[in-house]
Amino acid sequence: MLYLARMDVTFPADLSAERIAELQAAEKEYSQALQHDGRFAGIWRVVGEYANYSLFDVASNDELHQILSGFPMYAYMKVKVTPLAKHPNSIR
């Protein structure tokens, strides 16, 4: 099943730069592992915002929830998920 997720990140003002750097490093490691195993099918930055659109290819809603809640920065994210279905005009 394909899902498009928009993830917006907002860190609290009192979070230290060191802690943010730690979270960003952990986030990169986690997301790249998911990309390598194929469940995280793509990621695109939203220009001018601390946000992204991500494409996930997973077996179920529950699996997607588990993946999303596993992101190290999840506590600072607002996530909007859109399930996707094949378009009848698609040639792929």
User: How far does Cα 4 stand from its chain's mean position?
Assistant: 9
Residue 5 pLDDT > 90, yes or no? yes
Whether pLDDT at 81 is above 90: yes
Instruction: Tell if the pTM clears 0.85, that is, is over it.
Output: yes
Domain-by-domain residue ranges, the chain?
A: 2-84
Which of the 8 DSSP states describes residue 60? -
In the structure, what pLDDT confidence band is assigned to residue 92 with cuts at 50, 70 and 90?
Answer: confident
Match domain 2-84 to its CATH number in 3.40.50.1100, 1.10.357.10, 3.30.70.1060, 3.30.565.10. 3.30.70.1060
Q: What is the pLDDT of residues 13-31, one digit of tens each?
A: 999 999 999 999 999 999 9
What is the distance between the alpha carbons of residues 55 and 7, in angstroms, rounded to a whole number? 11
